[in-house]
Every structure is written in C-alpha cells, then in structure tokens.
Amino acid sequence: ATIDACADVLAAARAAGMCVFHVRREYAADGSDVEPVRHGLWLSGGRPLCREGDFPNSLDAPASLQAMPGEAVVVKPRFSAFFDTGLHETLQEAGVETLVLIGTTTPNCIRTTCYDALSYNYNVIVVEDATSSRTPQVQQANIADMAFIGATVVDSRMFAGLAAS
C-alpha cells in the first residue's frame, strides 16, 4: 500500500539531487544469518529474502523503487541499516547530515535505523505514509515514539515540497 508514496519520495529526492541509498535485507541460502528468534518462521515461510528459497523474487523491489545507476545498495544483516554495514562511514564521507527514511517495516527496520541514526547525530525525517506496519495502531505508536525522541515526521507531499525548495 505504500509503494506509490515511496516512489513519490524517491522521485522527489532524485529530482533534488539527494544521495539515495537503497537498503535491503538478504539472507544466506542456508539461513545461517537469520536471527534465531525468526529462523523457524523463515524456514516455514519458504526462506523469503533469499535468492535460493521458494520466494526468489522476494528480494526484488517494484520497478518504481529499483536502484538507478550510481545509487548505492546496502545489504544489511539485521533490522538497522547501520548494523554491520559501513553505512555510517559512507554517509560521513559523503557529508550527509540528514536521513529520510521510507520503507517497511516501521517497528523493525525503520525504527531501529531511526534510533541508530539519531545516536550517530543525524537529523532524521520519517515519511509516515511511505512506511508501513502490520496494523494502523502499531504504525501510530511507532511514529509517535520516533517523533518523541527527535525524528521529524512528514507525509510524502510535504517531503516533496521540502525537497523542491
């Protein structure tokens, strides 16, 4: 349901000349890097996010969200885009001070990345309608928590206006 909003944010970021990083999760074919608490579910679910499982296309982004030439793709082993990826060092070298977070899922990947980014002293913008959770209640609670700790929360239209200015 958030693909269109994510595509709008991505297009606005590109038009504004922002650095774009695509962050994704990818598991080893043998599941050796799946968190122990998720391993059983991963196995019973057909080994998603693994090129050699029953869902080999689960790593493919929709066409409107595909990385363009020159855009970095960061493969992360856990929820946070910062965990064991070198992303912080890459962002520092590029002079990035503000991160704009979109994608799924809000309580796991978005929130964990947000907290880590704030810990590294980045400004964080979360685009609410370009993130998703299992239920509206879970979404609202996580967005409220991120706003409370210092993230700026906007919608995709507001972001497009900010990016254009």
Instruction: Tell me the pLDDT of the chain averaged across its residues.
Output: 91
Choice among 40-49, 119-128, 152-161 with the minimum mean pLDDT: 40-49
Listed residue (61, 58, 60, 64) closest to 4, CA to CA: 64
Average pLDDT over every residue of 125-142: 97
Q: How far apart are CA 91 and CA 128, in angstroms?
A: 23
Please state, as a whole number, how many other Cβ atoms lie within 10 Å of the Cβ of residue 11: 14
**DSSP letters along 63-92, please?**
GGGPPPTT-EEEEESSSSTTTTT-HHHHHH
pLDDT of 151 over the 80 cut: yes
pLDDT at position 104 is 86
Task: Summarize pLDDT for 36-75 with one digit per residue, the tens.
Answer: 888 888 777 776 676 666 666 666 777 888 899 999 999 9
- Model confidence at 149, pLDDT cuts 50, 70, 90, reads very high
Average pLDDT over every residue of 137-159: 98
Judging by beta carbons within 10 Å of its beta carbon (0-12, 13-18, 19+), is residue 36 exposed, middle or buried? exposed
Task: Summarize pLDDT for 82-111 with one digit per residue, the tens.
Answer: 999 999 999 999 999 999 999 989 999 999
- Model confidence at 145, pLDDT cuts 50, 70, 90, reads very high
Could you tell me the pTM of the whole model? Answer: 0.89
**Bond into 105 cis (ω within 30):** yes
Listed residue (16, 23, 19, 17) closest to 131, CA to CA: 23
CA dihedral of residues 155, 48, 35, 7 (deg, nearest 10): -20
pLDDT at position 41 is 80
pLDDT at position 77 is 87
Q: What percentage of the chain carries pLDDT values higher than 90?
A: 70
pLDDT of 160 over the 90 cut: yes
Q: How far apart are CA 124 and CA 92, in angstroms?
A: 15
What distances in angstroms separate CA 13 from CA 28, 50, 73, one per listed residue? Answer: 31, 29, 16
* DSSP element (H, E) containing 125: strand 123-132
